[in-house]
Amino acid sequence: MNMVTAPHEEATGVGMEADWSNVLGRLKSEFDDNVFNSWFKPLALVNIENGCAIMATPTRFMRNWLESNYADRIRCAWKTENPSVTDINFIVLSGFNKAKPETATAEEASVPQPDRRKSSIITQKTSEFGAPLDPRFTFESFVVGKSNELAYAAARRVAENKEVHFNPLFLHSGVGLGKTHLMHAIAWANREKFPDRRVVYLSAEQFMYQFITSIRYKDTMSFKQKFRSVDLLMIDDLQFIANKQSTQEEFFHTFNALVDQNKQIIVSADRAPSDLNGVEERLRSRLAWGLVADIHPSTYELRLGILQSKRENLGADVPNSVLEFLALKVTSNIRELEGALNRIVAHADVSKQEITLESTQDVLQELLRAHDRCITIDEIQRKVAEHYNLRLSDMHSARRARNVARPRQVAMYLSKMLTARSLPEIGRKFGGRDHTTVMHAIRKVEELMGDDAQIAQDVEVVRRALTG
Ligand code: ADP
Ligand code: MG
């Protein structure tokens, strides 16, 4: 029996259910049957979170169509039924099929036609309930260096063998360092080598939405069945299920069932299993049983290698000096690095100018400034916690011990210096503290930096880590 208890996973059911059926009633009276049946009937309400109604559609195509044609009407209907709903959002749950027989005609229909529903065959691929794979993310396009060679070797090993050598494979790193790329690469390679295997990739967030939706539509049996019948299951960004009790519990059961059947599981997260705060201990320790491989921040050589390979793919005329400059300057992560190169190529394209070191410096200056603006308080808290060897939760906690309180003050200080957040906003991000507390922290750190070389150095090290 699965009970959804955690507040972020499901809002209170009864009222939401009634509102949803009223919303559907409204739409039914506003549109003709054909439109209603094609577009609205297959929709499933997943949840209401922070005033946003989240609805699931079975296909991407359908989501796009709803977004561009009917979003306003649906939003309006929601507002009328329940004024606390101010926004709507569609997510794609591929393979999810609310009214089992009659859906999924929309994929092929560019516009709904009167006889479409009756005549078309349902082409739902039942084996496909994972997220789509990016064709660019393959092993061939993955550049290997010191920082990622362990993760790469482990990924290759899993992709090329049916036997399970370590379970799970746990990949972790900061953002933009290639976890998702490697997982997609495993899926591509594995599907090619063993076409009969059922390989499923999805994010932890999608896992949660599928789970919640199955509860709402009393379909947990088929949810369990489909997840227990895969040969290789990959769950990306597992940190998302922190503090989501029932999703964690369901994932734990799925995990155990698959391990028992000797099926391979691959999990990624932005930190090591033991650092997954808000995740039950039994799951954390289980996750560390297999092979834990982390991807380290990139080296200059790797960044240069990636840029060279990217230049080849783009077929762009970029001088080596420019690649070297980028590899030296954009150190935060690979996503930013690719972004910088794309931007420079696009800029040259638009301005019809050759790419030179000078033009790159100009464009990049803008980019680096934009990057500075994007630093978030969450990132600052994470970096400070890392630097002082604390838990991330210590940044929000009420603990006053100096070894916790001081780093927290440093984080508040950096939040003021590196983001555009106001004092009250910063206070809120630090466990709901008052703005006067933040102000006090900033003064204190400034004062200490004058007297205490250690603090001054700590602040500088973290600042540098953040601003790349
Ligand atoms: P993560 O999932 O760790 O946040 P991604 O896998 O999304 O990171 O990678 C971010 C971007 O950087 C992607 O476009 C990916 O292709 C690219 N990338 C990361 N590492 C490499 C690598 N070693 N070789 C080539 N491209 C890479
Ligand atoms: Mg990712």
Res 366: pLDDT: 67
Tokens of 297: 């921040």
Residue 233 predicted with pLDDT over 90: yes
Residue 336 predicted with pLDDT over 60: yes
307 versus 465: which is more confidently predicted? Answer: 307
Q: How far apart are CA 226 and CA 127, in angstroms?
A: 8
Q: How distant, in Å, are the alpha carbons of 27, 34, 39, 182, 332 from that of 42?
A: 13, 12, 6, 34, 42
Q: Please write down the long-range contacts of 455-458, taking CB distance under 8 Å and 24 or more positions apart.
A: 455/406, 455/410, 458/387, 458/388, 458/410
CB count in 10 Å sphere of residue 140: 9
Q: Write out pLDDT tens, residues 24-60.
A: 999 999 888 888 988 898 898 888 888 889 898 888 8
Amino acid making up residue 269 = A
Q: How far apart are CA 123 and CA 58, in angstroms?
A: 12
Domain limits, the chain: 2-109, 126-294, 300-373, 377-467
Strands (E), 173-231: 199-203
123-127, 149-153, 285-289, 386-390: range with lowest mean pLDDT: 123-127
Ligand nearest to the CA of 131: 2
Rounded to the nearest angstrom, the distance between the alpha carbon of 444 and the centre of ligand 1 is 40
Q: How far apart are CA 51 and CA 42, in angstroms?
A: 22
Nearest ligand 1 atom, CA 145: 23
Give the three-class secondary structure for 172.
Answer: strand
DSSP secondary structure, 70-130, as one string: THHHHHHHHHHH-TT--EEEEEE-TT--SSTTT---TTT-SS--TTHHHHPPP---TT--S
Rounded to the nearest angstrom, the distance between the alpha carbon of 143 and the centre of ligand 1 is 9
- Pocket around ligand 1 at a 6 A CB cut-off: 137, 141-143, 148, 173, 175-181, 306, 334-335, 338
Mean pLDDT of 318-327: 94
Residue 321 predicted with pLDDT over 80: yes
CA dihedral for 419, 421, 422, 424, sign (positive or negative):
negative
105 band by pLDDT with thresholds 50, 70 and 90: very low
Q: How far apart are CA 297 and CA 318, in angstroms?
A: 25
Residue 339 contacts residue 375 (beta carbons within 8 Å): no
CATH number of the structural domain 377-467 = 1.10.1750.10
Q: Write out pLDDT tens, residues 145-162.
A: 999 999 999 999 999 999
Res 301: pLDDT: 94
Q: Specify the CATH class of 126-294 in words.
A: alpha beta
Ligand nearest to the CA of 297: 1
Q: Write out pLDDT tens, residues 155-210.
A: 999 999 999 999 999 999 999 999 999 999 999 999 999 999 999 999 999 999 99
CATH number of the structural domain 300-373 = 1.10.8.60
Mean pLDDT of 66-75: 90
CATH number of the structural domain 2-109 = 3.30.300.180
Which residue's CA lies nearest to atom 5 of ligand 1? 178
Ligand nearest to the CA of 183: 1
Q: Write out pLDDT tens, residues 357-381.
A: 988 988 887 666 655 557 889 999 9
